[in-house]
Chains A and B, each alone.
Chain A
């Protein structure tokens, strides 16, 4: 049998002269990193200028002061402790939300009448900010771990649920027909066709929900907590340390960006 693989999958026999240096340096990446550094510098300069003009370090500390605070808190471990306190709560609640929302989403996506029945309730609860649940969470669960887990659960649940439903509903019908012609049982259809086909959309839901969970945890920790980045920020306000407040905001932003990028990368790999 003639094997065409030698021309297509074997790149080791490519003529060495054809390989140009530019193929090895990710120019696109360098470009976007350059643009980012440029705009970040501009932002920092504006911030520093504003701080110099305003002349009030308690209310508006400049980037240099914040960088010092950042470094100090990083060195003495408080920043890391607070970050892990927030992260731990998020991971627990977000995982819980995924475990509950994905199966429900698969069922609702598969059974149209059930979805039509539940849709109004979902759409009514969904627009309520997770923050509006904080009072009830405190009343029901107190200010311990479970109250915050409840808030994050609410924040993560709906993006995962809605994406799972639409992912399942939009599975290419030809794949379902093909699987039927192979004699797939309904359970095999769900596990081997529908869920894998919906997985990229479900992952998008996981990414979005992680983002909203990250926002909600900060708020929840501001109201009822003795640790976590939210607590660190609100505590910074109470002791009139704007530099700590801004440090908390900066680390929240950076981590949020990193998590989002990791998710996006995974999503891209899946499609």
Chain B
């Protein structure tokens, strides 16, 4: 049902500015951020550490308060959107599973908070446990799972909330390359089936080119959007194809000047 509405704007960020108080004044984490995210889009926020990509993600998720500018969801100001947790969910960098609950209970947690009926909770959690291939592990505790499995539980838990938007903060950052590659493919698979809107923070260029419809390349000091690149490749992308490599090269070039700039800044401070 969301397919028909694919091209309409879902989230709009205008002139966003985020400052953090520090010992000596304020730190400008983000400035002049303008971004439009369409329904069903897979958007990657890419940049070096300290460019404010997670800050942008959590501003959109309303987990932190911007200093200026505006964010709208479905043309409505974020402050006025009621029960945002029914529209957006978060997958955290460190899985954030409750260690005292089993896989199944972890996935059911948000549904119980919502006050859903027992049978409905069971039905939904079983569907998503099956989807991420963890049905056989439903009675395990998180410390009995591998890193990749924990992250899959985190994803299943987010999916089970059946929100329109999924915010993902470097979810595969701590995983080894093989597991990461596998989960990337699974994520695309799920996203194509479920047609959710995904906002995905990463510092991996290859990860962004593999996953995204749209890559928001960011620069640091202060955090700004350097460029927005539409990735015109089909799905199930071949990471060794010339087009894929070309995208990687282009973004590497954009980020390279960034890295040089940071280096200069650091040496001038010294």
Whether B100 pairs with A183 at a CB distance below 8 angstroms is: no
Give the distance to chain A from B83, nearest Cβ to Cβ, in Å.
Answer: 6
B63 touches A183 (CB 8 A): no
Q: What secondary structure prevails in chain B residues at the interface with A?
A: mixed
Distance (whole angstroms) from the CB of A266 to the closest CB of chain B: 14
| Pair B133/A2 contact, Cβ less than 8 Å | yes
- Enumerate chain A residues within 8 angstroms of B114, measured Cβ to Cβ: 182-183
For the complex, is A34 an interface residue (Cβ under 8 Å from B)?
Answer: no
Q: Could you tell me if A196 and B92 are in contact, using CB atoms closer than 8 angstroms?
A: no
Given contacts A181-B85, A182-B85, A184-B113, contact A196 B63 (CB under 8 A): no
Q: Tell me if A's interface is mostly helix, strand, loop or mixed.
A: helix
Q: Is B137 an interface residue (CB 8 A)?
A: yes
Q: What 1/0 mask marks residues of chain B from 102 to 140 whose CB sits below 8 Å from any chain A CB?
A: 000000011011100000000000000010010111000
Q: A174-B94, A175-B98 are in contact. Are A181 and B63 (CB under 8 A)?
A: yes
**Is A192 interfacial (CB-CB < 8 Å)?**
yes
Count chain B residues whose beta carbon lies closer than 8 angstroms to a beta carbon of A.
25
Contacts of B109 in A (CB 8 A): 179, 182, 192
Residue contact B136 to A9, C-beta cutoff 8 Å: yes
* A178-202 vs B, Cβ < 8 Å mask (1 yes, 0 no): 1111111000100011001101000
Q: Is the CB of B90 within 8 A of A4?
A: no
Task: List residues of chain B with CB within 8 A of the CB of A4.
Answer: 133, 136
B113 touches A188 (CB 8 A): yes
Q: Does B61 contact A (CB under 8 A)?
A: yes
Per-residue interface assignment for chain A, residues 1 to 19, with 1 indicating a CB less than 8 Å from any chain B CB and 0 otherwise: 1111100010000000000
Q: Which residues of B contact A (CB under 8 A)?
A: 61, 63, 83, 85-86, 88-90, 92, 94, 96, 98-100, 109-110, 112-114, 130, 133, 135-137, 161
7 A-B pairs closest in CB distance:
A5-B136, A183-B85, A182-B110, A178-B96, A181-B90, A174-B96, A3-B136
